[in-house]
Chains A and B, each alone.
Chain A
Amino acid sequence: MREDYKWRYGFFLGCVIPNRYPMIEISIRNVFDHLGAELLDLPGASCCPAPGVFRAFHIPTWFVIAARNISIAEELGVSPITGCNGCYGTLRDAWYELEHDYDKKKEVNEYLAKIGRKYSGTFEPKHIVQALYLDMGLDYLKDFIKLKFTDLKVGVHYGCHIVKPSEKRPWNGEYEAPQFLDEIVEITGAKSIDYKDKYMCCGAGGAVRTAVKEVAADFTREKLVNMRDAGVDIILDICPFCHLQLDLGQVEVNNFYADIIGEPFNIPVIYITQLLGVAFGMDPNLLGLVKNHNLSGVSPFISVDPFLKIVKEQLI
């Protein structure tokens, strides 16, 4: 371990972060390194598997594949850490349930033995926000703030599985109106704006997006209308699937619901480590905020340039 590293985690990438929103991956890697937290790769990790689809198809498969993923981090002697609420839901729920069910744990290990692996459950799966807020703490983060926003209104979107099921999460049972993410956002000088049904789901999860895209987009429409009514400059989230739904989802909402939304939506969607990174004075290139390609049909589907403009006006 590099001497100035204070924490060490196994970076569980999942699917959407590396394969659709690599700007989130690069921002997590660079911000955690900046904060003195080492992120080890988890070689050969797979889909978590997604809690709304694959668990809904076959719970036993969900258990063994999740346990395999956790076992890769265990081999390295670290907690798996994820930037995705879905992966967090799977890894943390599977871990919690296996630690409370001896027979299940034994059965899962019988399967893992077939591929020469073992799950022990020694290391608690974490979300990057859990590491930021509980392992590092607000005071530690505040020391890294170099520049503060003077006027940035943020629509904070928590997502669901970061706080629920609450008995399997580290937030003391709070799920109706948690504040930890707003507190992190506000150390950058930005203002977290209250909006109607702030804690509502984005609509993507639980296999809904794959089942009926229009239903997922209707959840998103409601959220977007509420955020726009409150006057947000940006949407901030902590999950790549919410991110996809709030980013690509704006294009879909503009399409499906053009007749009822009035003006089309065009709100930049920013991931928590991207916001923190700019306030830490880090180069936006290291945070995946600058486009360096001519590819078409790739993320982000809503330009983040208006956010970069605010960064330049207020921070640089």
Chain B
Amino acid sequence: MSENVEKYIKRKVYKSTNSRIAQKFVDAGLEKIRACINCGTCTGSCPSGRRTAYRTRSAIRRALTGDETVLQDIDIWLCSTCYYCYERCPRDIPVTDMIIKLRNIAVEEGYILDSHFGLANDIFYATGHGVPANGEANKKWRDLRESYGLPPLPPTVHSYPEAVKECQELMNAVGFKKLLDNAAKLKKERAKTEEKK
């Protein structure tokens, strides 16, 4: 997209908004969505939308208009990232990548499901694996590996404790741990407010 078009898009859509989150949408490059002609190819191609209330075009539209509630819906987490919308968009909007960016902003704002938080914090950050085989609870998986003649733990981070530290050092430096801690804090605060209500 040419620089001029991008400038035009920003001016047209966000000139009058002072929403902090709308600004985040702009910063994340979501203004590319401005090229959308509302044809609905994304929604029509979406295998998730066939069985859930997730409507790709609608999520995209809400982001474009700076509607923050799009971050709070579980809908954006029901995209299986199959990339049909991305491939078929006649305006070449990288739709799936836009959904991924929306999710990034949702997490930043503390909108992350408990199951996803646990996976990120207690499993990925702690072990370096997204699906681990270490620890007492996973003994059966190590036994299964051995039954096929493989060592109980693979030659991954599981066999190299210093590699786990390397990954954690990277995740600390790039701000992942801070992001998760902040999301947890925001979630807690929000839960408290809900309780008071």
Contact = CB atoms under 8 A, between A and B. Distances in A.
Interface of A: 13, 15-16, 18-20, 22-23, 25-26, 41-47, 49-61, 64-65, 68, 111-112, 114-115, 117, 160-161, 164-166, 175-176, 200-201, 203-208, 210-212, 215-216, 218-219, 222, 288, 291-293, 295-299
Interface stretch (B32-40, B58-66, B122-130, B187-195): B122-130
Given A19-B133, A52-B80, A201-B82, A68 B167 contact: yes
21 contacts: A15-B131, A16-B131, A19-B154, A20-B133, A44-B157, A44-B162, A45-B156, A45-B157, A45-B163, A46-B164, A50-B130, A57-B103, A58-B107, A61-B175, A65-B167, A201-B80, A205-B82, A206-B79, A211-B116, A295-B147, A298-B144
Query: Do most interface residues of chain A lie in helix, strand or loop, or is the interface mixed?
Result: loop
Contact of B82 (A44, A117, A206, A210): A206
A298 B141 contact: yes
B163 A166 contact: no
Contact of A43 (B132, B160, B179): B160
A22 B144 contact: yes
A75 to B, nearest CB: 13
A19 B131 contact: yes
Given A205-B82, A293-B147, 8 more contacts: A19-B129, A57-B103, A58-B174, A59-B100, A64-B171, A111-B170, A205-B80, A298-B141
Contacts of B17: none
Given A13-B156, A46-B129, A211-B74, A23 B81 contact: no
A85 to B, nearest CB: 11
A111 B129 CA distance: 20
B14 interface: no
B4 interface: no
B75 to A, nearest CB: 10
A117 B119 CA distance: 26
A114 to B, nearest CB: 6
A204 B80 contact: yes
B101 A59 contact: yes
Contacts of B81: 51-52, 56, 160-161, 205-206
Contacts of B101: 59
Given A18-B154, A52-B81, A211-B115, A57 B104 contact: yes
Given A60-B175, A61-B171, A292-B147, A210 B162 contact: no
Contact of B119 (A61, A68, A210, A218): A210
Nearest to B103: A56
Contact of A65 (B79, B83, B116, B170): B170
Contact of B179 (A13, A58, A203, A210): A58
A177 B86 CA distance: 16
Contact of A22 (B132, B150, B167): B150
Question: Which of A18, A117, A175, A292 is most buried by chain B, counting CB atoms within 10 A of its CB?
Answer: A18
B170 A114 contact: yes
Contacts of A23: 148
Given A18-B145, A218-B51, A208 B140 contact: no
Contacts of A200: 47, 82
